[in-house]
Amino acid sequence: MRRFKIGVVGAGYVGLTTAVCFSELKHNVICYDKDKSKIEKLKNGIVPIYEPGLEELLKKNHQKYLSFTDQPSEIYSDSDIIFICVGTPEMPDGAPDLSYVEACSIDLIPYLNRYKLIVEKSTVPVRTAEWIERTIRLYRPDADFDVASNPEFLKEGSGINDFFHPDRIVIGVSSERAKNILLEIYNEKEFPYPKIVTDVKTAELIKHASNSFLALKISYINMVANFCEKVGVDVDVVAEGMGFDKRIGKDFLKAGIGWGGSCFPKDVKAFIKMAEENHVDFSLLKEAYKVNEYRIDFFIDKVKKTLWVIKGKKLAVWGLSFKPNTDDVRESPAMKIVPKLVDAGAFLKLFDPKAIENAKKIIPPSENVCYVESIEDSVDGVHAILLLTDWKDFKEVDMLKIKKRMITPIIIDGRNMLDPRKIRELGFLYVPIGKN
């Protein structure tokens, strides 16, 4: 089976995971990033993000099938295939910032000395590939290359498994040559999973449509959760009953404090912006976004109703990352809830198994905010526990020992992680979402 020289532009979550996983398949991979300090750490085996299994695979393949560089000449000159995995951050109007994609397109032009396949893996708007090709052609009309789309569907916390065992592989191409190369990379022996081969624009759209639909699903069950609380019904049982319907499915029907992370909020707003530019009414998606934003105030209101007065209360915050098994706090609901509690006069002890250092960059320690190193330290002398990320560590803790350290045994569970019957039998006042 042919092994390629693969260049990966961007050493963020998507780029680094992509590079490491391709190297595990014995492709010769070079990962490029302009951040010299990040590249230096990677060269020394230091992984700047937490992703289960990533560090082990990186160390296994480094200097064998995997290398890192901050020099564009080292990646663009020798690579057969270049995966663009740069950031597309949100701009004030909701549109994605494509300046990094454009810069990458320009940077590689001097090195188009032979045929190269340029592959978008970053989440980009429809027609981005057309702009990449147009940009390159303006400088090099005679260059021999293709631009393809291969959107990533890596979930933080399970990225390596998602790479090697995907639900589907989407390949958007405009030539047989590009199609054959990507189908060879994603060959049946190593990737015996459904492959959707489309034109490039369709592939670009599939990613935004997929993420936005999942966001809709989460917002919907949170809306149902509000109704369940009013009429005395358990939203988890409702979701279970819905999930057995194969047309609906069980995934993403977990009520809580809303979605976050680097993908859903940004991708939903980007899709809305694309729709507006094409004069398509996406009011349904706009409402879903509003429902999600309201979850923060909804939870704060639940804290107020439970504690009566927030000012002066000492609270343990369990979980800062937007989901378990990652140190990513971008758009995390917890990082929106904490400042509101501080503004209300609370004193907070914050704990997360992996995300503390990233959280400190956004919410520094202060008179009202203290970061602690263990679950036990977080509950000493507090009036309540606020459970904001469903790390398994929180489910496995000895709650009787926790209770003895608290002033008042109150748990407000923003993720419906704990068993209401069991936790109440231990003497806790337990307040979940969408149930009594």
Which residues form the catalytic set? 263
Which of 152, 17, 14, 136 lies closest to 85, judged by CA?
Answer: 14
- One-letter amino acid at 169 equals I
Residues 93 and 273: beta-carbon distance below 8 Å: yes
